[in-house]
């Protein structure tokens, strides 16, 4: 087989057949995000199970929440969804500078949220002496919010990677545009999970009587 | 660029949606303090869960573009969400965290 013919065969094998009409990677991302509901659902349920169950020693998370601080953090993460969708919108108009700006803004807002979470954990541990092993309620709180924070950190890394690629190549190609859309879906998902956590864990949680 | 089947919102519309979400967040926080003063109990829980659901659906519909995508995507997403909610409602009911009165 000649090199040209060989290349054609490889090209043919690389063509994607999408009987659903949706890009395979995009469909895969939606299925992945759908499965993540079960993951976060388990951690939220675990928190609800122990958050106001009496009988444990040590301080409970609901006794020391700083609602004004967490409200600002929630607002920051919510606004990062706006900057993310503006990045996607800019790319759809082939505004590469705008895409980079909004991508960086999203990563910055995500980093501010993470900084807030680190500060919150630090305050809980040093000022209130609530550690991972204080009681099951504290463990459930740290595991849930820490797991969410890990998702945010991964999102920030992906956003900065796209931003770096865009800077190096003076823009994102059409194929890389799909990457931006996938990262965007992931980022919005992290945001909607926090919407649930903020309400259920912070605003509705009460310590045992 | 991507599989877009309907015209997506403009940047101006996205800003308006974000303002709407910010207002709901402010109402949620206000409800937290109102409940501490007045002790609304289940009413407060109902209002907060409703507001949270509105924010959730707004982000999914507009920012994640589910409103503009093929129905298959919303079916996948809804299936995962409903399955998770049903599963953990049963688990939490069985463990006595949520009390179902017959």
Dump pLDDT digits (tens) for A179-189: 999 999 999 99
| Average pLDDT score over residue span A173-182 | 90
All residue ranges of chain B with pLDDT < 50 are: 1-4, 102
Q: Inter-chain contact B2–A177, Cβ cutoff 8 Å? A: yes
pTM as predicted? 0.89
Q: What is the pLDDT of residue A10?
A: 46
CA-closest candidate to residue A144, choices A49, A33, A28: A49
The Cα–Cα gap between A201 and B54 comes to: 18
Q: What is the pLDDT of residue A16?
A: 58
Of the pLDDT bands very low, low, confident and very high (cuts 50, 70, 90), residue A23 is: confident
Dump pLDDT digits (tens) for A134-157: 999 999 999 999 999 999 999 999
Considering only residues A6 and B82, tell me which one the structure prediction assigns the higher pLDDT: B82
> What's chain A's average pLDDT?
91
Dump pLDDT digits (tens) for A29-56: 999 999 999 999 999 999 999 998 888 9
The Cα–Cα gap between A201 and A197 comes to: 5
The Cα–Cα gap between A159 and A180 comes to: 8
Q: Inter-chain contact A192–B84, Cβ cutoff 8 Å? A: no
Q: Is the pLDDT of residue A15 over 60?
A: no
CA-closest candidate to residue A156, choices A84, A98, A99, A90: A84
Of B14, B85, B88, the CB nearest to A86: B14
The CATH class for the domain spanning A24-203 reads mainly alpha
**Domain locations along chain A:** 24-203
> Is residue A118 less than 8 Å (CB to CB) from chain B?
no
Taking every pair of C-alpha atoms in chain A, what is the biggest distance, in angstroms? 79
Return the number of other C-beta atoms located less than 10 Å from residue B41's C-beta. Answer: 9
ipTM confidence: 0.89
For tokens 């040093």, name the residue: A126
Of the pLDDT bands very low, low, confident and very high (cuts 50, 70, 90), residue A206 is: confident
Q: What is the pLDDT of residue B74?
A: 87
| Average pLDDT score over residue span A191-204 | 96
> Is residue A34 less than 8 Å (CB to CB) from chain B?
yes
The Cα–Cα gap between A36 and B77 comes to: 10
DSSP A67-112: HHHHHHHHHHHHHHHHHHHHHHHHHHTT-HHHHHHHHHHHHHHHHH
Q: What is the pLDDT of residue A12?
A: 45
> Is residue A177 less than 8 Å (CB to CB) from chain B?
yes
Dump pLDDT digits (tens) for A61-86: 999 999 999 999 999 999 999 999 99
Residues 6+ apart with CB under 8 A from A137: A47, A50, A51, A52, A53, A56, A60, A61, A62
Q: What is the pLDDT of residue A174?
A: 80
Q: Is the pLDDT of residue A165 over 80?
A: yes
Q: Inter-chain contact B92–A44, Cβ cutoff 8 Å? A: no
> Is residue A108 less than 8 Å (CB to CB) from chain B?
no
For residue A79, list chain B residues with Cβ-Cβ distance below 8 A. Answer: 18, 22
For residue A34, list chain B residues with Cβ-Cβ distance below 8 A. Answer: 76-77, 79-81
């Amino acid at each position: 087989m000649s090199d040209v013919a060989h290349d054609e065969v490889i090209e043919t094998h690389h063509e994607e057949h999408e009987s659903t009409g949706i890009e395979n990677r995009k469909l895969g991302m939606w299925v992945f995000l759908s499965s993540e509901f079960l993951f976060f659902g388990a951690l939220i349920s675990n928190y609800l199970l122990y958050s106001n169950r009496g009988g444990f020693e040590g301080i409970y998370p609901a006794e020391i929440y700083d609602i004004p601080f967490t409200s600002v953090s929630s607002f920051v993460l919510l606004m990062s969804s706006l900057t993310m969708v503006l990045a996607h919108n800019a790319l759809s108009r082939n505004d590469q500078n705008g895409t980079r700006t909004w991508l960086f803004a999203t990563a910055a807002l995500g980093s501010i949220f993470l900084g807030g979470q680190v500060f919150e954990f630090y305050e809980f541990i040093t000022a209130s002496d609530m550690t991972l092993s204080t009681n099951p309620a504290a463990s459930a709180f740290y595991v849930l919010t820490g797991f969410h924070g890990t998702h945010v950190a991964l999102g920030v890394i992906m956003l900065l990677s796209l931003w770096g690629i865009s800077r190096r190549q003076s823009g994102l190609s059409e194929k890389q545009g799909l990457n931006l859309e996938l990262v965007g879906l992931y980022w919005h998902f992290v945001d909607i999970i926090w919407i649930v956590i903020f309400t259920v864990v912070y605003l509705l949680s009460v310590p045992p009587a | 660029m991507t599989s877009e089947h309907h015209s997506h919102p403009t940047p101006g519309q996205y800003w308006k949606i974000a303002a709407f979400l910010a207002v709901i967040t402010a109402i949620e926080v206000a409800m937290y303090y109102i409940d501490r003063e007045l002790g609304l109990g289940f009413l407060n829980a109902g209002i907060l869960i409703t507001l949270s659901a509105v924010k959730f659906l707004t982000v999914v519909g507009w920012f994640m573009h589910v409103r503009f995508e093929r129905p298959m995507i919303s079916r996948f997403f809804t299936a995962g969400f409903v399955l998770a909610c049903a599963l953990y409602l049963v688990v939490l009911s069985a463990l006595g965290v949520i009390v179902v009165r017959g």
